[in-house]
Chains A and B, each alone.
Chain A
Amino acid sequence: MTSTLDFIQFVLAPQMITGLSLGVAVVLVALGLTIIFGLLDVINMAHGEFYAIGAYAALALGAVGINFWLLLLIVPLLMIPLGYLTERGLIQRVFNKPDRHVTTLLLTFGLALVLEDVLKVAFGPNTQRPSTPIPGAIEMFGIMMPNYRLFLILFGIAIIAAVIVIVNRTALGAMVRAAAFDRNMAASLGVPVTKVYAGTFAFGVALAGLAGVLLAPVFSVFPTMGRDFIFMAFTVVIVGGMGSIIGTVVAGLLLAQVQVLSSLVVSPVWSDPIVFSIMVLVLVFRPQGLFGRLGHA
């Protein structure tokens, strides 16, 4: 009996908390991805690079002495024009062609290649790790918990809640949902659809940038960090249901638990294949994902 309790306290619980912080991290990256897909029908292959840009911006601005807490505000604000211009300057150029899915996917894939190499040129190929803004750890229920991880979980949950409220409960969110449901109807009711599109894309990119700032002290900063993380984010978006915000949150938290708990049973190298297998199974048996998409009930 004690051994079971010990197992729960010293193995299972810490692992699940690690999973929770990983899950929150993945959801933060995946949220922008799913909102962009839900509204624009665009698979943003460059999303991971926007996440990396956020992390590098935090690193660069932090080096000139800007406080971490200020960065949480500044970096997303800086990402907004970048996202807005990307949508207006690149996505819109091919947006109305047939095969929008394929064309925009290819275009953002090209953009990802360019951005990743630009980061390499600008910051060098080496891994950098910003110092933790909140050092130390506290003991909770007999488990040692780094303070920053705790902050990440709480702050991440707050951001996720804020995004849900913005999309579902504000006039801005209503415009986004309306445009996602029926573009022409929304336009005829006076929704400035082109601005909503660009604005939503910018919002998604800003979220990726914010995730970059938040996760840099945990996962380090390197040019391909976006690529490594985006696979997991894509999986989360697909399993949750492309374009569903609640689905992304649920799938992100669940899949992160699958990843950390499976590594208790099998070697951790197998956790990636397991997670990707789940994605394939979901795509095969329920391609729409666990939840419906944005704008649809």
Chain B
Amino acid sequence: MLSPSHLPLSATLRHDRSGLLMRASHVLVVVFVVAALVFAALGAALGDTFFLRLATEALILGGFALSVDILLGYTGLLSLGHALYFGFGAYVSALMLKQTPSFWLAMGVVLVAAAAFGFLTGLIANRVRGVYFALVTFGLAQVFAKVVYNTRALGASDGMIGIPIVPIELGVVTVMSNAPVAFFLFTLGFVTMLYAVSAYLLDTSFGRVLGALRANENRVPFLGYSTHRARLAIYVFASVVAALSGALYPMLRGFVSPELMFFAASGNAVITVVIGGVGTLVGALYGSVILTVLKSVIGTMTEHHLIVVGLIFMAVVIFLPKGLMGFVRPRVARLLDGGGR
């Protein structure tokens, strides 16, 4: 019988290493949450609204970017139309809230609807690989965005305004979506939960199959796993994460518009993930904060912030291909490793 010690040394080391990196990600998330709590305390003390709501939006977009990283970082599939699911979640949430301002009902419907929608579109998108996947997701998003843009019942190009303020019942407390501090904290908790669920899922045997798919797609079926089913499953999961993040958007801003589904939104999520660090999950959250800060800080100086964002993005692609977290995370992992021995 083979005991674990008979496994090739490199394999056990490899596993330890990925486990270590995952733990490093968790540490970085804790740092992120602590920093966010400090920020919330400062915001509350100063009675700020603007920056808290901006930060809430950064968190929501961070959840969206997380879903892009699930696809890009763990299957190598670049989606150029993932805003489709973010926008889908936002629209379904807005439609539900206009009917009945019930948070949990809206989120439940978004969850189910996004899973179904992600499944159907995933069947289409997953027929192709590589660069064609990028283009088919782009095309799908264009089609649906244009349909929304042209549909009167969905507000057409104007979008929908007047989404009511919703009470979010959390057992002991009720958070109102228009309370800056409380809704920020709620969003922080929600996005952290999205991160935790994603990190857990990608650490299961299912996550290992995805890693194997990325390494060598042809071998995986010989090991008895369906490549198609695994790809479809992760696609649906990523769609749901994007849609749940999107569902919070109308609660924060009180409106939805077709721009949420446009290529610019998909592109922003990709920029966020690349700057933050592809395949790290936590990079999506940091990237979103960085991008939001860049945009609002440079935005106050000049309206041409895209030059700066674009240059930084290009520099990261060339010089720091694993992004900020690809740089920071191994160092944290080394610290953890040193601390453990």
B143 within 8 A of A: yes
Asked whether B135 lies within 8 Å of A283 as measured between CB atoms, the reply is yes
A107 within 8 A of B: yes
A8 within 8 A of B: no
Residues on the B chain within 8 Å of A116, using CB = 306
8 Å CB interface, A230-288 against B: 231, 234-235, 238, 242, 267, 269-270, 272-273, 276-277, 279-280, 283-284, 287
A207 within 8 A of B: no
Residues on the B chain within 8 Å of A43, using CB = 131, 134-135
Residue on A with the closest CB to B77? Answer: A102
For B127, give its contact among A109, A117, A270, A284 (CB under 8 Å). Answer: A284
Complex CA distance for A97 and B149, rounded to whole angstroms: 39
Question: Given that A280-B136, A280-B139, A280-B140 are known contacts, is A90 also in contact with B124, CB under 8 Å in the complex?
Answer: no
Min CB distance, A113 to chain B, in Å?
3
Question: Given that A102-B78, A106-B270, A121-B307 are known contacts, is A273 also in contact with B314, CB under 8 Å in the complex?
Answer: no
Asked whether A102 lies within 8 Å of B143 as measured between CB atoms, the reply is no
Residue on B with the closest CB to A103? Answer: B317
Asked whether A279 lies within 8 Å of B139 as measured between CB atoms, the reply is yes
Question: Given that A102-B78, A284-B128 are known contacts, is A118 also in contact with B307, CB under 8 Å in the complex?
Answer: yes
Total interface residues on B, CB under 8 Å, equals 38
Asked whether A111 lies within 8 Å of B310 as measured between CB atoms, the reply is yes
Residue on A with the closest CB to B80? Answer: A105
Residues on the B chain within 8 Å of A90, using CB = 314, 318
Complex CA distance for A94 and B315, rounded to whole angstroms: 11
Asked whether A93 lies within 8 Å of B128 as measured between CB atoms, the reply is no
Question: Given that A234-B135, A276-B146, A280-B140 are known contacts, is A99 also in contact with B274, CB under 8 Å in the complex?
Answer: no
A192 within 8 A of B: no
Question: Given that A111-B314, A117-B306 are known contacts, is A273 also in contact with B128, CB under 8 Å in the complex?
Answer: no
B267 within 8 A of A: yes
Residues on the A chain within 8 Å of B127, using CB = 283-284, 287
Complex CA distance for A72 and B246, rounded to whole angstroms: 47
Complex CA distance for A17 and B268, rounded to whole angstroms: 38
B1 within 8 A of A: no
Residues on the B chain within 8 Å of A165, using CB = none
8 Å CB interface, B165-187 against A: none
Asked whether A107 lies within 8 Å of B143 as measured between CB atoms, the reply is no
Residue on B with the closest CB to A125? Answer: B303
8 Å CB interface, B282-325 against A: 304-307, 309-311, 313-314, 317-318, 321
Complex CA distance for A93 and B130, rounded to whole angstroms: 21
Asked whether B139 lies within 8 Å of A103 as measured between CB atoms, the reply is no
Complex CA distance for A280 and B81, rounded to whole angstroms: 12
Complex CA distance for A276 and B314, rounded to whole angstroms: 28
For A101, give its contact among B131, B150, B309 (CB under 8 Å). Answer: B131
Complex CA distance for A91 and B249, rounded to whole angstroms: 37
Complex CA distance for A214 and B141, rounded to whole angstroms: 31
By a beta-carbon cutoff of 8 Å, the part of chain A in contact with chain B is 43, 90, 93-94, 97, 99, 101-103, 105-107, 109-114, 116-118, 120-121, 231, 234-235, 238, 242, 267, 269-270, 272-273, 276-277, 279-280, 283-284, 287
Nearest 9 interchain pairs by C-beta: A113-B310, A114-B310, A110-B314, A117-B306, A110-B313, A101-B131, A273-B146, A280-B139, A283-B136
By a beta-carbon cutoff of 8 Å, the part of chain B in contact with chain A is 72, 76, 78, 124, 127-128, 130-132, 134-136, 138-140, 142-143, 146-147, 149-150, 263, 267, 270-271, 274, 304-307, 309-311, 313-314, 317-318, 321
Given contacts A43-B131, A118-B307, A283-B132, 16 further A-B contacts (CB under 8 A): A43-B134, A93-B318, A101-B78, A102-B78, A110-B313, A111-B314, A113-B306, A114-B306, A117-B310, A273-B142, A273-B147, A277-B143, A283-B135, A284-B124, A284-B127, A284-B128
